[in-house]
Structure 1
Amino acid sequence: MASALPETRPRTASAGVRLSGLSWAHFLNDGAANYLPGILPALLIQMNLSVALAGTIMAALLVGQGLQPFFGLLADRIGGRVMVFAGLLGSSLGGALISVVDGPVFLIGVLVLIGISNSLFHPQALAAVRRLSAARQGTAMSYFLVGGEIGRGVWPLLASWVVVSWGLGALWILALPAIITVPWLLRWAPSLPARAVGQAPIEWRRHAGPLSLLVGFCALRALMIFCVITFVPVIWAQAGGSLTAGASFITVLMVVGIVGNLAGGRLSDHYGTRPILVGAMVASCLLMLAFLQLSGVWLWLVLALLGIALFATLPLTIVVAQDMLPENRSFGSGLALGLANALGAVGVMALGPVAQVWGASAPLWVAAGGGAVAVVLALVLPNHRPQ
C-alpha cells in the first residue's frame, strides 16, 4: 500500500528546491498570520481598548492553532496536500481583512479565521518536510521552520510601516505575495499518502504520558514567546516609543532566532535532543530575567539571544513528536506546535488582567517562571538520538 512505501530521498536538487519552496510558503503563511503584534498598539488606540484586552486579542489569533491536532488526524487520513493550499490562502486573505475591521467583535472573528487557516497549513506541511528528508531530519525541519520565523519577525515590522505610511486600510497589500505563490505549491509540496484504513489505531495509553510532557514543555515555551511579542511592543508604546520601533523588538526576536533554529536542528543530529532542550531553556529563563532588568540598546541584544535560545528547541520538539507517532506524523506535529501554541495563547489571555493591574511587564515575570518549569520537563522528555 502507499502508506507502506519507504521514505526515500528524491534527487538532491529536486528535494532542495521543494524544501526551499515550502520554506517560502511557510514565510508567507506565518507572516500573514502573525503580524498583529506589530500593529496591536495602533488597534488598541483606534478602537479605544484597554491593555487588559491585548492578551484576549492575541489569544483570538492564536487559540485556533489548538485545532492543529484535529487537522493533523484529518491530514493523515486523507493524504494529499490540499490543506497546505487552503491554509496559506486562508491566512493571507484573513490578514487582508484586518484592513477593514471596524470594531473588536469583527476583529476577533477575523483573527479566529486566521488561526484556523494557520492550523490547516502546518500539520501537512511539516509531514511533507519529513517525507522530503530521509536523513538529517533535524536539519531539514530547521530549514523549513526558518521560513516561518523570518515571516513572524519581518511581517510585524512591515505591517507597522504600512500602517504608519498609509493607514490600516492598506494592509491588504501584504496578501498579494501569497496569492501569487499558491499555484506554485503544486511543484513544491509532495502529495502525502493516505493512512491505511486498516492500520492500527494510536495507542493512547502508551503515548499519553510522553505526549503530555512534550505538549506541556511546548506550551510553556509558547507562553514565553507570546508574552514577549504581545506585551513588549505595548510597554514600548506606553513609554512613548514609536510603533515601528516597538515592532522591531519582534523582528529581532524572530529573525535572529533563525540562528538558534538552524543550530538546534544541526546539533540534535549529532548529540540528540535532550541536552539541547535543557541547555536552551535554562538560557531562555536567564535571558528573560536579564531583559526585565536592562534598558537601552541592551534590550535588543538580549532579545536576540533569547530568540536564539527559544527557537533552538522548536525543530527538536517536532521531531520528538513525530517519533512518538510515526504513523501519524501530521497529528504529532499538530500536538507539538498547534495544541501547545493554543495553550500558550490561553495563558497570554489570562495574563491580560495581570498586565492591567501590575503593569505590562508583569506577564514576562510569569513567563520566566514557566520557563523554569519547562527545564524540568525537558529533563524527562524522550530523547531523539541521531541515526
Structure 2
Amino acid sequence: MAYTIGSGDSADRRLLGLSWSHFLNDGAATFLPGILPALLIQMQLSVSLAGTIMAALLVGQGLQPLVGLLGDRFGGRTFVVLGLLGSSAGGAMIGFVETPSALIGVLVLIGISNSLFHPQALAGVRLLAHERQGSAMSFFLVGGEIGRGVWPALASLVVVHIGMGYLWLLSIPALFTLPLLWHWAPSLARRQADTTPIAWRAHAGPLTGLVLFCALRALIIFTVITFVPVLWSQAGGGLTAGASFITVLMVVGVIGNLGGGRLADSKPTRPILVAAMLISSALLVAFVLLDGVWLWLVLAALGVALFSTLPLTILIAQDILPENRSFGSGLALGLANAIGALAVIALGPVAAHCGAAAPLEVAAVCGVIAGLLALWLPQHKTSAAI
C-alpha cells in the first residue's frame, strides 16, 4: 500500500504541527473532568452519575475503528480536520448547556469528533516518521497528553474566575489552526480494491488481547481523572486544585510517553508493558493510602508508568494490520477507550455507595490483570527490523 506526501514543509515541521493539533483536539475533547464537580453541583446531579457523564464523552471513541476503515479506504486527511473542528466546537458548547440531556448530546458530539481526528492522524505520523517510528509516535502523542493535562486546569480557572459561559475562549486557538492543519497532515493514499484483505482469523487473537489490554489501561486512566477530582471536592478541596491532579498525571506522563517511544525503537516491548502495568497498580494502592504532597508525587509516577505503554500499543496494532494502519490505530485507541469508558459507568454507583476511593481500588486490580495479559501480546518490530 503506497502512501504519498505532498511537497511543502519538512517532515519534522509537519510532525510538530500535528502534535500541536493533537494538543488542541484532546484538550478540547477532555477538559470535562476539571469542571465535572462544578457541573454536578450546577445541574444538581448525584456523584453516581459522574461515570455516566464521562462515558457519554468517551464512548464515541468506539467509532475510531470504523473511521479508520473509511480513512484507509478513501485516504486523504479530511477526517483529521473535521475532528479538530468538531471537538473544539463541542468544547465551546459545554458552557452553554443547561440540562443534563443537552450536556449528554454535546459530549457525544465531542466523542464522535475525537474519533474522526485520531486514526488518520496516527497513520500520517507513521508515514512522516520513516525511521524511529516509536519516537515520532511519542512526539505526536505527547501533544494530546499535554492537552488532556493542561485543559482541565485551564477550564477550571475559566469557570472559577469568569464563569462557565466563557469556556468558548479555549476554542479560539483551534480556529486559527484548522487551515494550517490541512497542510500539515499527510494526504493518505486510498486503499486499493485489489489489496490483500485483512486476515481476520490470523489477527483475531493478537488484536483481541491488545484491545483488552488497552481497554484496561483506559479504564484505569478514566477512573483516575473522573473520581480523583470528585474525591478531592468531597474532602473540601477547591475546583482548580482538583483539576491540578489531572494536570500532574497527564503532563508528567509525557516523560513516560517519550521514554516508551524511544524504548520501542530498540527494546522488546512486552517486558515494558508488564512492568508498567504492575507498577501502576502499586501506585494506585499507594494513592489511596497516602495523603498530602505524596498524592501529587504518586500521580506523577502513575502518569509516567501508564503513558509509557501508549506508543507501544499503537505501534503493535499497526504492526498487526500494516495495510490498515488507521484501522489498527482505531482499535487500539478508540475501541479500547470506548470499552474502558463503558466500564466507568459501573464505577459511579460504586463511588456513591462505597466512597470515591473505591473505584481506584478496582482500577488497581485491573492493572494487575493488564500486566498478566501483556505477557501474551505481540512484540513490536523495531525500526531496524522493518
2:307 to 311, 318, 322: 311
Asked if the contact 2:317–2:328 (Cα under 8 Å) also holds between the matched residues in 1, the reply is yes
Asked if the contact 1:9–1:132 (Cα under 8 Å) also holds between the matched residues in 2, the reply is no
Asked if the contact 2:6–2:186 (Cα under 8 Å) also holds between the matched residues in 1, the reply is no
1:171 to 167, 172, 192: 167
Query: Hey, what does 1:355 align to over in structure 2?
Result: 351
What is the DSSP-based 3-state SS (H/G/I as helix, E as strand, rest coil) of the residue aligned with 2:82? helix
- Distance in 2 (CA, whole Å) between partners of 1:275 and 1:101 is 46
**Taking structure 1 as reference, are residues 286 and 10 closer, same or farther at Cα in structure 2, changes over 3 Å only?**
farther
Residue type matched to 2:357 in 1?
S
Deviation per residue, 1:138-163 (Å, 9 max, x gap): 11000000000000000000000000
Asked if the contact 1:271–1:385 (Cα under 8 Å) also holds between the matched residues in 2, the reply is no
Counterparts of 1:30-49 in structure 2 under 5 Å?
30-49=26-45
Asked if the contact 1:318–1:333 (Cα under 8 Å) also holds between the matched residues in 2, the reply is yes
Deviation at 1:187, TM superposition (A): 2.1
Asked if the contact 2:54–2:226 (Cα under 8 Å) also holds between the matched residues in 1, the reply is yes
- Distance in 1 (CA, whole Å) between partners of 2:98 and 2:2 is 51
2:13 to 11, 17, 31: 17
Pair 1:190 & 2:186 matched: yes
2:90 to 87, 91, 94: 94
Deviation at 1:281, TM superposition (A): 1.0
Residue type matched to 2:2 in 1?
A
1:285 to 281, 285, 288: 281
- Distance in 2 (CA, whole Å) between partners of 1:279 and 1:16 is 32
Deviation per residue, 1:228-276 (Å, 9 max, x gap): 0000000000011000000000000000000000000101211121121
What is the DSSP-based 3-state SS (H/G/I as helix, E as strand, rest coil) of the residue aligned with 2:98? coil
Deviation at 1:200, TM superposition (A): 1.9
- Distance in 2 (CA, whole Å) between partners of 1:326 and 1:62 is 26
Counterparts of 1:319-358 in structure 2 under 5 Å?
319-358=315-354
1:4 to 2, 5, 27: 2
Deviation at 1:201, TM superposition (A): 1.5
Deviation per residue, 1:88-146 (Å, 9 max, x gap): 00000000000110010000000000000000000000000000011111110000000
Instruction: Answer with 347-356 or 148-157: which moved more.
Output: 347-356
Pair 1:215 & 2:215 matched: no
Pair 1:374 & 2:376 matched: no
Aligned positions, number: 383
Deviation at 1:385, TM superposition (A): 3.4
Instruction: Answer with 128-137 or 196-205: which moved more.
Output: 196-205
Deviation per residue, 1:26-74 (Å, 9 max, x gap): 0000000000000000000000000000000000000000000000000
- Distance in 1 (CA, whole Å) between partners of 2:201 and 2:155 is 45
- Distance in 1 (CA, whole Å) between partners of 2:264 and 2:198 is 26
Q: TM-score, normalised by structure 1?
A: 0.97
Residue type matched to 1:65 in 2?
Q
What is the DSSP-based 3-state SS (H/G/I as helix, E as strand, rest coil) of the residue aligned with 2:138? helix
Deviation at 1:186, TM superposition (A): 2.3
- Distance in 2 (CA, whole Å) between partners of 1:370 and 1:251 is 23
Percent identity between the aligned chains?
Answer: 70
Query: Hey, what does 1:244 align to over in structure 2?
Result: 240
Deviation at 1:4, TM superposition (A): 3.4
- Distance in 1 (CA, whole Å) between partners of 2:379 and 2:334 is 21
What is the DSSP-based 3-state SS (H/G/I as helix, E as strand, rest coil) of the residue aligned with 2:37? helix
Asked if the contact 1:90–1:114 (Cα under 8 Å) also holds between the matched residues in 2, the reply is yes
Deviation at 1:297, TM superposition (A): 0.4
Query: Hey, what does 2:222 align to over in structure 1?
Result: 226
- Distance in 2 (CA, whole Å) between partners of 1:44 and 1:195 is 46
Query: Hey, what does 2:124 align to over in structure 1?
Result: 128
Deviation at 1:10, TM superposition (A): 8.8
- Distance in 2 (CA, whole Å) between partners of 1:369 and 1:9 is 47
Asked if the contact 2:118–2:330 (Cα under 8 Å) also holds between the matched residues in 1, the reply is yes
Counterparts of 1:57-68 in structure 2 under 5 Å?
57-68=53-64
- Distance in 1 (CA, whole Å) between partners of 2:121 and 2:183 is 13
Counterparts of 1:251-270 in structure 2 under 5 Å?
251-270=247-266
- Distance in 1 (CA, whole Å) between partners of 2:57 and 2:361 is 23
- Distance in 1 (CA, whole Å) between partners of 2:10 and 2:373 is 39
1:73 to 61, 69, 72: 69
What is the DSSP-based 3-state SS (H/G/I as helix, E as strand, rest coil) of the residue aligned with 2:265? helix
- Distance in 1 (CA, whole Å) between partners of 2:212 and 2:332 is 9
What is the DSSP-based 3-state SS (H/G/I as helix, E as strand, rest coil) of the residue aligned with 1:43? helix
Deviation at 1:8, TM superposition (A): 9.0
Counterparts of 1:85-164 in structure 2 under 5 Å?
85-164=81-160
Asked if the contact 2:63–2:334 (Cα under 8 Å) also holds between the matched residues in 1, the reply is yes
